[in-house]
Amino acid sequence: MGPYQEPDMEPLCGVLTAIVTPFGPDRGIDEAALRNLVDRQVEAGVHGIVAGSITGEAAALSPAEHERVVKLVVDQAAGRLHVMAGTVANNTRLAIELSYRCEDAGAGSLLQIPPSYIKPTQDGLIRHYEQVLTATRLPMVLYNVPQRTGSIIQPRTVLRLAEHPRVVGIKQGVSDLEQLNQILAARPASLAVLSGEDTLTLAMVAMGADGVISVAANEVPQAIVRLVAAALEGDRQLAIRLQRRLAPLM
């Protein structure tokens, strides 16, 4: 690799879609369908795509397939929106390997979950993230999703990790809004806070969050973009109407 340059990355906000990975009858990646999904997201006005994360069937992908998915999304997006790559791994070495692959594939940032099932201590989480940050070069977004991983990133740990210049955000998939409030109250300006639960997006944005990494946007991207835009702009009545209309789908 050539000499490192700090990535030129705008602050994360609005809607980023946690895009699914379509498969064909041969159980391989349906590349044409994936490209079409990317175009649909771009046309709907989303601000970014997250490829190869939990919603992107990461557990069903080999490392080579994971890299291929990210490369396809980056290629099809063609600079029209931000591409974040999920690096779902339950050990630090694999997280680093996947991060290398995603960087080589052209991702603009990494979405990193805690090691699943292992339930590390908070100090263990810090060491895990610090090792990945030391080994890689891309900006990182933390993913707090205890219902999937079995461990939670406590607010004090989030704020400790946010001191690193390349920790640029957190996807907060935790229903405890008091934890969200603690992060929002003390976060540095450089840390974006994004909802990780579609059903809580309006509440989180009302509290000060910057947007959502959305699953529902796979199906109704324009509606999610309108919802988040209304919430960020303070149009409470429109945001409530959209949230209630979309609640059954969410």
> Mean of the pLDDT values across residues 186-198?
97
**Over pLDDT 70: what percentage of the chain?**
97
Let me know if 100 is a catalytic residue: no
Residue 1 has pLDDT above 70, yes or no: no
Spatial separation of the C-alpha atoms in residues 113 and 55, rounded to whole Å? 13
Q: Tell me, what's the pLDDT at 6? A: 42
Spatial separation of the C-alpha atoms in residues 105 and 99, rounded to whole Å? 10
Catalytic residue among 71, 100, 129, 171: 171
Q: Read off the pTM.
A: 0.93
Q: Tell me, what's the pLDDT at 8? A: 56
The chain-wide mean pLDDT, for the chain, equals 94
Contact at 8 Å (CB) between 118 and 151? yes
Catalytic residue among 71, 100, 129, 143: 143
Q: Tell me, what's the pLDDT at 243? A: 96
CA distances from 157 to 40, 110, 123, 130 (A): 37, 18, 8, 12
pLDDT tens digits along 64-112: 999 999 999 999 999 999 999 999 888 999 999 999 999 999 999 999 9
CA angle 10, 152, 91 (to 5 degrees): 80
Let me know if 4 is a catalytic residue: no
In this prediction, residue 4 has a pLDDT band, given cuts at 50, 70 and 90, of: very low
